[in-house]
Amino acid sequence: MVEVNSKYDVVIVGGGAAGLMTSILLARQCADLKIVVVDSAKRLGAKILISGGGRCNVTNRSVVAKDFNGGSRNVIKRVLKTFPAKATVEFFESIGVTLHEEQHGKLFPDSNKARHVLEALIEEAESLGVFLMTDCRVEKVEAGTNLFRIFTNNSELVSRAVVLATGGQSVPKTGSDGFGYELAKRLGHSVLPTFPALAPLILDGDFHEQLSGISLDVELSLHTTNDKTKRFTGSMLWTHFGISGPVVLDLSRHWHAAKLAGAEPAVRCNFLPEFDSQRMENEILDWAEQNPTGLLSKKLSQHFPRRFVDALCKELHISSEATFSQFPKRQRRTLVENLIERTLPVIDSRGFRYAEATAGGIPLNEVEPVTMQSRVCGHLFFVGEILDVDGRLGGFNFQWAWSSAAVAAQGVCGAIANSSNEKGLE
Ligand SMILES: Cc1cc2nc3c(=O)[nH]c(=O)nc-3n(C[C@H](O)[C@H](O)[C@H](O)COP(=O)(O)OP(=O)(O)OC[C@H]3O[C@@H](n4cnc5c(N)ncnc54)[C@H](O)[C@@H]3O)c2cc1C
């Protein structure tokens, strides 16, 4: 049982990536502050442990504001500038975690173990004297004149500043169940509608079922009634429920955003991204001219896995024995349409249970970008995924956690120093 009315300078609610980083950078800058990280989970950093397939994609070689969605790009840019990817690499080196680069600029720990990232963060926080409280859910935060009162399931804490680092709503079993938004609302903040980001998509029908396990490099385009067409290229994985893989995850938040806006999103897939319809049609005509007695299915199998070719031909009523000379114009057009702009019947995403991030949250215009301090409630700070920022796949969400934590650490330090000076003058 934790002491009732324990007094701290700073209470950080949430001990994930953003909360732990805030505690470390704050303790390094303001060594005499009494800091506690309070987390509802039995063990800290569950999301770090499951990240990057258990390897933790810590950041990316190149991180710019364009890699993020949500709030103002200028604010994001400013926050990233204070603590860019290079600073992340140096920071992790300082706690004994060296990183290496992989495909698409992704940086992973040399050990390839997310556990090492988490252990290093916890060790560093503890060695700096940060108190870490687990199994301790914050149920209410009250802002008084100079102090906050923080009510948890087993204690009551008092502090001069509070940092909300409660994450979003994705994979709620890790502890990030969205309750942080309630805490923020009760302190006067608004919360933009949240929806899953980086989530697999569910398809109608059963075409996908027979293709489960097949991965293809494709271009997906998202068409809506209110915005320009958005295009994403990369690897798409067919699954028993629909589609997943990097290109799908990156598109998913835009599908949800369009749905939320009532903009009737439609997803189309180009299975041969280097071709448009006209070029594809010409290509098939060339094949036919070169080898009129050749089998269409055999030719297609040079470009795609056999299972995909069989499923497509079956659906389009094209016999696997059909030769180019037996291939009517109408069928050729249908095939081209299905290869170059096939509509994927997306019903929904798999939701927060499977999403890697949360879109929406605390609006960036309700925080000061140079401190991450609330504009609504003094000495209240926000870091990480609780804010209306979500990154694309590739280490960007963690970079947002590290960068916003660095800005908040400076902000908290400054705010507490200022209030101490003011008290001294009274
Ligand atoms: C499967 C998966 C894989 C991912 N892989 C990557 C990756 O490789 N690279 C990348 O950049 N991003 C990745 N992400 C995204 C990344 O993990 C998150 O963006 C990041 O962890 C957010 O950090 P955070 O500290 O803001 O929130 P979280 O990590 O969600 O931490 C919030 C903490 O707050 C605690 N909490 C919540 N409410 C309360 C309360 N009321 N009282 C006390 N404590 C509370 C929770 O228990 C939790 O520990 C992945 C996400 C998932 C789900």
pLDDT tens for 147-157 read 999 999 999 99
Provide the 10 A C-beta neighbour count for residue 104.
14
| Rounded Cα–Cα distance for residues 305 and 236 (Å) | 13
Is residue 345's pLDDT more than 60?
A: yes
Residue 335 vs residues 234, 293, 341: alpha-carbon distances, Å: 22, 18, 10
Longest dimension (CA), the chain: 95
pLDDT value for 195: 98
pLDDT value for 1: 44
85: closest CA among 111, 125, 57? 57
162: enclosing H helix or E strand: strand 156-164
Provide the 10 A C-beta neighbour count for residue 240.
11
| Rounded Cα–Cα distance for residues 267 and 187 (Å) | 40
Mean pLDDT, range 185-189, rounded to an integer: 98
Q: Do 403 and 84 touch, CB atoms closer than 8 A?
A: yes
Contacts of 6 (CB under 8 A, 6+ apart): 36, 155, 156, 157, 158
pLDDT value for 192: 98
The angle subtended at Cα 129 by Cα 381 and Cα 16, nearest 5°, is 45
pLDDT value for 4: 52
- Amino acid sitting at position 43: R
Is residue 71's pLDDT more than 60?
A: yes
Can you tell me whether residue 203 is helix, strand or coil? strand
Q: Do 313 and 338 touch, CB atoms closer than 8 A?
A: no
Beta bridge partners of 163: 12, 381
39 lines ligand 1 (CB under 6 A): yes
Quickly list H helices, 15-146.
17-29, 46-50, 73-82, 85-94, 114-127
357 lines ligand 1 (CB under 6 A): yes
Length of the chain: 426
Q: How confident is the model at residue 426 (pLDDT cuts 50, 70, 90)?
A: very low
Q: Do 129 and 101 touch, CB atoms closer than 8 A?
A: no
SS3 annotation, 285-297: HHHHHHCCCCEHH
pLDDT value for 226: 87
- Domain residue ranges of the chain, discontinuous segments joined by +: 6-196+355-425, 200-350
41 lines ligand 1 (CB under 6 A): yes
Tokens standing for residue 185: 């609302």
- CATH tag, 6-196+355-425: 3.50.50.60
- Which of 101, 104, 176 has most ligand 1 atoms within 8 Å of its beta carbon, as the pocket-test mutant? 176
With the CA atoms of 391, 392, 393 and 398 taken in that order, what torsion angle do they form, in degrees rounded to the nearest 10? -10
Is residue 424's pLDDT more than 90?
A: no
pLDDT value for 419: 83
57: closest CA among 119, 101, 120, 121? 101
| Rounded Cα–Cα distance for residues 174 and 176 (Å) | 6
Is residue 2's pLDDT more than 60?
A: no
Mean pLDDT, all residues of the chain: 95
Q: Do 384 and 180 touch, CB atoms closer than 8 A?
A: no
| Rounded Cα–Cα distance for residues 61 and 46 (Å) | 24
Is residue 425's pLDDT more than 70?
A: no
Contacts of 144 (CB under 8 A, 6+ apart): none
Residue whose structure tokens are 């909300």: 164
Specify the higher pLDDT residue, 80 or 321: 80
pLDDT tens for 3-36 read 556 999 999 999 999 999 999 999 999 999 999 9
Ligand 1 centroid–CA 293 distance in Å is: 58
Is residue 225's pLDDT more than 60?
A: yes
Q: Do 336 and 277 touch, CB atoms closer than 8 A?
A: yes
Contacts of 24 (CB under 8 A, 6+ apart): 95, 121, 124, 125, 128, 130
50 lines ligand 1 (CB under 6 A): yes
Quickly list H helices, 59-178.
73-82, 85-94, 114-127
pLDDT tens for 355-378 read 999 999 999 999 999 999 999 999
Can you tell me whether residue 339 is helix, strand or coil? helix
pTM of the model: 0.96
Ligand 1 centroid–CA 14 distance in Å is: 9
- Which of 397, 400, 402, 404 has most ligand 1 atoms within 8 Å of its beta carbon, as the pocket-test mutant? 397
Q: How confident is the model at residue 423 (pLDDT cuts 50, 70, 90)?
A: low
22 lines ligand 1 (CB under 6 A): no
pLDDT tens for 35-66 read 999 999 999 999 999 999 999 999 999 999 99
Beta bridge partners of 223: 266
| Rounded Cα–Cα distance for residues 66 and 179 (Å) | 29
Ligand 1 centroid–CA 49 distance in Å is: 10
Least confident among 1-5, 158-162, 319-323, 383-387: 1-5
Residue whose structure tokens are 């397939």: 53
Sign of the dihedral defined by the CA atoms of residues 28, 160, 12, 397, in that order: negative
Mean pLDDT, range 339-362, rounded to an integer: 98
Mean pLDDT, range 114-142, rounded to an integer: 98
pLDDT tens for 325-339 read 888 899 999 999 999
